[in-house]
Amino acid sequence: MSNPKFRPTPTNPRVLYRLDLTRFAWLSIGAAVVTIALKGSAYFLTGSIGLFSDAIESVVNLAGASMALIMLTIAARPADESHVYGHNKAEYFSSITEGLLILVAAIGIFSAALDRLIHPRDLEQLDPGLAVSVAASTINFIVARILLSQGRKRNSIALEADAQHLMTDVWTSVGVIGGVAIAGFTGWIILDPLVAIAVALNIVWTAVHLVRRSVAGLMDAALPSNERNTIESVMKKYRDKGINFHALRTRQAAARRFISVHILVPGDWTVHDAHLVAEDFESEVSQVLGGPVTVFTHLEPVNEELSMQDILLDRKW
């Protein structure tokens, strides 16, 4: 038993709700193009390897945002005969790809920083260069806050990953601008490549976090403990009425959460009465969790011995 299915038509509200997320990916792409131009200009004005590392990360932002656009478009497709659970998991490929791209960028930044340590270079035109970099960082901050808000509101890991990457870029830029400014005005030019190395190490952590979270989703990890506790609180209300539950299974596919559970009702109940309870339970769980939720229930008589044989999760196959 499950929530009523929706017809897979292009005008279905659920499909349009997810497809609407692509406009935020376009916003991220536009911001990446602008910041690449600004940060690239800052690097050519100053010759700073720190600002170069900042520009490289914006190139990664563009690649990540482009991947997010493609995967969000795929994830918005309705369920079909080949993908009966929908296409939501496509978002995980976006965040994994972005994580790997960040690692590649970190390697490139680290290599350039080591070369600058060996071959130091004086910094030039710091004032206009740093001003341009500040403008680029401001754009990234505004876009990141928009993406993060929408990603959390709509349970989109692709948008959240893009937003977290942009916020990392913002804080990285703050460190780079401060380090380059100190290096330029004090003459300690060794600070420039050292700041770039710090940037590389920082974005490696971001990459690892994104990849780990995406792999957990692809491996059908259970819902977070707070959401499982929410489900248990709904079950408690029904247990007080003499109804029991077992074999609870949960998983998340990007925005959509899947819940499966067996409902044990008194054996003398009619199928009609038991069915109404199951429908009420499914509806209540969906409401308390919010967002796209699919609940599967299986009815069993509570006083039947065979009902207890499947109380444990099946780990044989």
Q: Does 236 map to a domain? A: yes
DSSP string, 216-268: HHHTTPPPPHHHHHHHHHHHHHHHTTT-EEEEEEEEEETTEEEEEEEEEE-TT
Q: Higher model confidence: residue 110 or residue 285?
A: 285
Please report whether residue 314 resides in a domain.
no
Over the stretch 175-196, which tens digit does the pLDDT of each residue have?
777 777 777 777 777 777 787 7
Task: Tell me the average pLDDT across 232-259.
Answer: 87
Last residue of a domain, one of 202, 218, 234: 218
Residue 147 lies in a domain: yes
Confidence of residue 316 (pLDDT cuts 50, 70, 90): very low
Last residue of a domain, one of 218, 234, 262: 218
Instruction: Kindly state the DSSP code that residue 295 receives in the 8-state scheme.
Output: E
Considering the domain architecture, whether residues 188 and 242 belong to the same structural domain is answered as no
Let me know if 305 is exposed, middle or buried by CB neighbors in 10 A (0-12, 13-18, 19+): exposed
Specify the CATH number for the domain of residue 291.
Answer: 3.30.70.1350
**Span 187-206, mean pLDDT?**
77
> Do residues 140 and 170 lie in contact, with contact meaning Cβ atoms separated by under 8 Å?
yes
Note whether residue 315 is domain-resident: no
Q: Quick one: 99 and 145 in the same domain?
A: yes
Residue 266 and residue 184 share a domain: no
Residues 147 and 269 in one domain: no
Please tell me whether residues 162 and 107 are part of one structural domain: yes
Q: Report residue 117's pLDDT band, with 50, 70 and 90 as the boundaries.
A: confident
The mean per-residue pLDDT over the stretch 215-225 comes to 81
Q: Is 242 exposed, middle or buried (0-12, 13-18, 19+ CB in 10 A)?
A: exposed
pLDDT at 317: 39
Residue 299 three-state SS? strand
Asked whether residue 288 is assigned to any structural domain, the reply reads yes
In a domain, 3, yes or no: no
- Tell me what pLDDT residue 6 has: 38
pLDDT in tens, 269-315: 899 999 999 999 999 999 998 877 889 999 988 877 666 666 665 54
Pair 113, 194 in one domain: yes
**Mean pLDDT, the chain, whole residue set:** 79
Which of 37-41, 47-51, 76-80, 122-126 has maximum average pLDDT?
37-41
Q: Are residues 205 and 298 in the same domain?
A: no
**Which residues, other chains included, contact 45 with Cβ-Cβ below 8 Å and sequence gap of 6+?**
124, 125, 128, 129, 132
Do you know the residue count of the chain?
317
Predicted TM-score (pTM) of this structure: 0.60
List, edge to edge, every strand of the sheet that includes 244-253: 244-253, 256-265, 293-301
- Please state the domain count of the chain: 2
Are 208 and 252 contained in the same domain? no
**Residues 147 and 246 grouped into a single domain:** no
The stretch 42-47 carries a mean pLDDT of: 82
Model confidence pLDDT, tens digit, residues 59-96: 877 877 888 788 878 877 777 788 877 777 777 887 78
Whether residue 242 sits in one domain with residue 205: no
H helix runs in 119-190, sequence order: 126-153, 157-186
Residues 6+ apart with CB under 8 A from 193: 49, 50, 113, 114, 116, 117
**Which residue, 174, 198, 218, sits at the end of a domain?**
218
- Identify the pLDDT of residue 229: 92
Strands 293-301 and 256-265: parallel
> Is residue 293 one of the residues assigned to a domain?
yes
In this structure, the answer to whether residues 212 and 242 fall within a common structural domain is: no
The CATH number for 67's domain is 1.20.1510.10
pLDDT band at 157 (very low <50, low <70, confident <90, very high): confident
Assess if residue 313 is contained within a domain.
no
247 with 188, same domain: the answer is no
> pLDDT: is 133 or 270 the higher one?
270
Band (2; pLDDT cuts 50, 70, 90): very low
Q: CB within 8 A of 13, min separation 6: which ones?
A: none
Range of the domain at 48: 13-218
